[in-house]
Structure 1
Amino acid sequence: MDSTMMDAPLTLDPIFERAEWLFADKELVTATATGIERTNYGRWAERTRLLGGALDDLGISSDGRVATFAWNTDRHLELYFAAPCSGRVLHTLNIRLFADQITYIANHARDEVIFADRSLLPLLWPMVEEMATVRHVVVMDDSGDNSSASGSKGTELPADPRIVDYEELLAAASPAGFRVADERQAASMCYTSGTTGDPKGVVYSHRSTYLHTMAAMLVDSVGVCEADVVMPVVPMFHANAWGLSHAAVAAGAKLVNPGPNLAPKPLAELIEAERVTLAAGVPTIWMGVLGELEGRDTSSLRAIPCGGSAVPKALSEAYREVTGLPILQAWGMTETSPLCSVAHVRSGQQHLDEDTQADVRATVGTVLPTVEFRICEPDTVNEIPHDGETSGELQVRGPYVTGSYYQRPDATDSFTDDGWLRTGDVATCDPHGYIRLVDRTKDLIKSGGEWISSAEVENEIMSHPKVAEAAVVAVASQRWMERPMACIVPVEGETITHAELIEYLAPRMAKWWLPSATQIIDEVPKTSTGKFSKKTLRDRFADLVVE
């Protein structure tokens, strides 16, 4: 029996039009190098339609890739909708990748145009000659007075016919009408950070983005709503800002874009001054911001979503002490759009004591509607019990989870034979459905034939009051093949010895999990997405051998 429901496509243009019509007066805020820029959804919508027309004027193909090389700004948000709503494909280039990776990605995606913030042009321009399909570079002034992101005098634009000024382009354009008929048409694409091998492209459809946007608006997700003031600290070039930019537009929420300066103090000032209700970023961001929130009015905050890597329990609880809110841990990846699970304490657990609730918050939560998960024995599809103890590889599937990589038929090892995404995360699941990340498969340490979770050891180390950051990696061992080593960044003004660390950890874990060595470092190296780069540390200490 067939239904009687309309077959209306799930595309981004109705989301855009709703914001244009209902929320024209709602504010969009962008922090620049010289101050705060303010606009609203009405003016933003006018400019977005002009941008759609400008893409026609530039001769961009009907399904051409429109790349961005930009910070979180209202102009970047214009591109978020103008490209897909005009039938093109938004392609956000990760500015933190190496030059050869960025060049590879632009060529692999066949980008036709790159919209770049002026402060980032010196970084981009040396690569353009190697980008075979790029015909235009459109420069957006992201500073108000042509200053760079550091506040120094702006860079002179190269005398090249490929260079186009963004405002001049819009001034000469006619507004476009938006209508996308096929919900399975590509809307945007992002590439993985490529820590091993070439970066791989994930192509999001209008349908997947629409469904992910609805998921971000669920109360048991991050619950973006019209009353919110949303500040995505996560970059717009990383997994579509975790879907928060789309969700803010869909809900008609005030949106605060932090621009180029992601230092702790400016972020704390924005939270207080703009009365931010929801601010989202990776753990390394919130480690820095915490100290800047002391003494500030953060009463507007209702949620601090955090993802990208496991959130140390100590960090989450420190936020609860300072702001009254623990960090809201979520999980996802570029391949999953990315939001898949959120760690809310359920109604049936509200009676639990604070320590037990903190343990629940230290998980990545339960999966969202439409997402399915399973935890399997490594390299198999054999599911393990949900006992909270047995660990295995986390695998997922769903309508906004990728089923392949763009033009990479060779990249099959990320998928099971029955079509599930192999996330590379090692996890457990308890009887209530709460998923706890144990480690990344590549970061597990095998000592004497037994596995050690580097992430769990790190979490305990970072609960030490003298430790600011910590990463645990495997080093060679004469006796055990591999042993864990702690790489520690002490709190400013503090010192910590290996013996002191072991004394602190001994009651907290099995003896054979205790680090065999400790290195004091100035900073834990980060990947392009702000995660700890353990590969860098492993390479750095590759010649070290312990007993």
Structure 2
Amino acid sequence: MTTPLLGQMMDVPLTVSSLIAHAARHFGATEIVSRRIEGDIHRYTYRDCEKRAKQLAQALIALGVAPGERIGTLAWNGYRHLEAYYGVAGFGAVCHTINPRLFPDQIAWIINDAQDRYVLFDTTFAPLVDILAPQCPHVRGWIALTDEAHLPKMQTALPVPLLSYETLIAAQDGAFDWPRIEESQASYLCYTSGTTGNPKGALYSHRSTVLHAFGASLPDAMSLSARDSVLPVVPMFHVNAWGIPHAAPLTGAKIVFPGKDLDGKSLYELMEAEGVTYSAGVPTVWLGLLCHLKDAKVRFTTLKRTVIGGSACPPAMLRVFEDEYGIEVIHAWGMTEMSPLGTLAKLTWEQSQRPPEEQRRLREKQGHVMFGVDMKIVGADGKDLPWDGVAFGDLHVRGPWVIQRYFQKEESPLIDGWFPTGDVATIDPDGFLHITDRSKDVIKSGGEWISSIDVENVAIAHPAVAEAACIACAHPKWTERPLLVIVKRPGMDVTREELLAFYEGKVAKWWIPDDVAFVDELPHTATGKLQKLKLREQFRTHILPTAVDVPDCPFPEPS
């Protein structure tokens, strides 16, 4: 047997610490700006960040934290949280970002499942820590991300020490060399939002994290560069802020952290003050920002691009950003199990030569895969479906930053080496993905599928609609029919009949909802996605007007 010829290149592992070391060495003077919990604006540089991250690594080692052990964070987007990203993972421990918007019992379950040794928390979460501490026996101490002067007064006596972050790292000199660790070692632990059952952990490696940062930075992905000032609205506790805390140091981009204030006015003022050119967040946040722009009659002077993901970007929102404010929207799709990026709606040269409306239709989809991800859609029989933009199927993905199994789980979810996402989608001949629904949310009417997302997007385009959700209601003839649940814009009114008439000519007739329900607010998950399970429970006994006095008959196909 012939021995394979090996390359003769340096064996340099892909590690998270190399990202911050690169930024400190080659973009050392570039700013990191944070709106702090204490209320002021904090400024320092990548060079400062790396030194303090090293001090944190030293402090955790002094506390007895070993490589592979998990360190939790309950924190907003800020410079201390960024230091934790690198200070924890940089010496071989695992940075476990925890979503503070989950229910306390769920957070306690996550901390215990991860067996976090210490938890770093912003002082706004002190009341939450009061609740969590007695339920988390593995935690050796709670570290408040502040100095001694701002340490929170806890309501109950914690069973373990309450420590000051600034005091801990001040005791260290930062004269620390990042250790050489294997790139296959774990770097970050992120849990799913747990909309069904307990959350599941996705354990990333140093290799997957660095490759994801490279992929995210590509021109046809997030397209970050050293010329950008980026403000991640997407939280650092939500799938590592979509990789921006890693892609920004890799490219040398300035970072602006908004802290806890994510309302439209606060975001706009910070973006303008810091010359932000680039941002990223979920549609619900951008709705608040657009409302502020309209009400205050102001415009952006520096913002050029924004990534919208987490849930489908309504076409009406994309059009407002681009047509009224001249801001490019990059529609993206991914998931926790994918680190998270999978596709982004960027056009090729040939596609950019097509008529404007055809270009817009492409960009309203979730887009093309980036290098590092492959995808396919399969039917109920498990066989691949054509990429014709018509066939609906279950979306499967694979790649070097897609999980192989969940944390603490022996059984792998993979099917023939592919991860089943739980999304229902089409892929068109251009290779553009269009998520039509979650498999559990799709509406099956008379043997055919109705995309709840497409129905919602039409409603969102109505000027009187602030938010919309489409769910399935039981129907004696069709099995299921769509019910539209609407939140009106403040000071505006619209009737059921007007909304249903608004659908004429925009979707197939049998896709038009059978009824409309008006509510004050819609339930959302901790990551800003619509909680349709709760809506289905809320309207479980809702009787559609079309379901009254329907005679027994076979289920014909819709026409």
TM-score when normalising by structure 2: 0.93
Matching residue of 2:223: 223
Matching residue of 1:462: 460
| Aligned residues of 1:483 and 1:515 also touching (Cα < 8 A) | yes
2:507 aligned residue (497, 509, 514): 509
Any idea what the Cα deviations from partners look like across 1:329-348, whole Å, max 9, x if unmatched?
A: 01110000111111012211
> How do 1:103-114 and structure 2 match up within 5 A?
103-114=108-119
1-structure distance, mates of 2:336, 2:98: 13
Matching residue of 1:9: 13
Q: State the AA in 1 paired with 2:318.
A: S
CA 433–469 in structure 1, closer or farther in 2 if over 3 Å, else same: same
| Aligned residues of 2:304 and 2:326 also touching (Cα < 8 A) | no
CA 132–456 in structure 1, closer or farther in 2 if over 3 Å, else same: same
Matching residue of 1:387: 388
Matching residue of 1:102: 107
2-structure distance, mates of 1:232, 1:515: 36
Any idea what the Cα deviations from partners look like across 1:58-90, whole Å, max 9, x if unmatched?
A: 111222101000000000000000111111000
| 1:489 equivalent in alignment to 2:487 | yes
Q: State the AA in 2 paired with 1:290.
A: L
- What's the CA shift for 1:158? 5.5
SS in 2 for 1:515: coil
1-structure distance, mates of 2:69, 2:320: 46
Query: Comparing 29-38 with 201-210, which one deviates more in the overlay?
Result: 29-38
2-structure distance, mates of 1:122, 1:141: 16
1-structure distance, mates of 2:62, 2:277: 39
1-structure distance, mates of 2:503, 2:390: 21
| Aligned residues of 1:318 and 1:326 also touching (Cα < 8 A) | no
2-structure distance, mates of 1:69, 1:383: 42
2:320 aligned residue (318, 321, 334): 318
> How do 1:261-300 and structure 2 match up within 5 A?
261-294=261-294, 295-300=297-302
2-structure distance, mates of 1:63, 1:194: 24
2-structure distance, mates of 1:453, 1:355: 22
- What's the CA shift for 1:156? 4.8
SS in 2 for 1:107: helix
Matching residue of 1:61: 66
Matching residue of 1:521: 519
Q: State the AA in 2 paired with 1:140.
A: L
1-structure distance, mates of 2:542, 2:87: 52
What is the alpha-carbon root mean square deviation over aligned residues? Answer: 1.7
- What's the CA shift for 1:45? 1.6
> How do 1:107-146 and structure 2 match up within 5 A?
107-141=112-146, 146=150
- What's the CA shift for 1:307? 0.6
2-structure distance, mates of 1:189, 1:307: 21
The alignment-based identity, stated in percent, is 42
Q: State the AA in 1 paired with 2:303.
A: L
Q: State the AA in 2 paired with 1:86.
A: F
SS in 1 for 2:505: helix
> How do 1:298-337 and structure 2 match up within 5 A?
298-337=300-339
Count matched residues. Answer: 536
Q: State the AA in 2 paired with 1:35.
A: D
Any idea what the Cα deviations from partners look like across 1:164-190, whole Å, max 9, x if unmatched?
A: 011111111242321232000000110
2-structure distance, mates of 1:515, 1:92: 40
Matching residue of 1:353: 355
SS in 1 for 2:100: coil
Matching residue of 1:18: 22
SS in 2 for 1:433: coil
SS in 1 for 2:472: strand
Flag structure 1 segments of 5+ consecutive residues without an equivalent: 148-153
Q: State the AA in 2 paired with 1:169.
A: L
| 1:173 equivalent in alignment to 2:172 | yes
SS in 1 for 2:135: coil
| Aligned residues of 1:485 and 1:519 also touching (Cα < 8 A) | yes
Query: Comparing 168-177 with 233-242, which one deviates more in the overlay?
Result: 168-177
Matching residue of 2:92: 87
Any idea what the Cα deviations from partners look like across 1:495-514, whole Å, max 9, x if unmatched?
A: 11111111111221222211
1-structure distance, mates of 2:390, 2:375: 17
2-structure distance, mates of 1:407, 1:269: 43
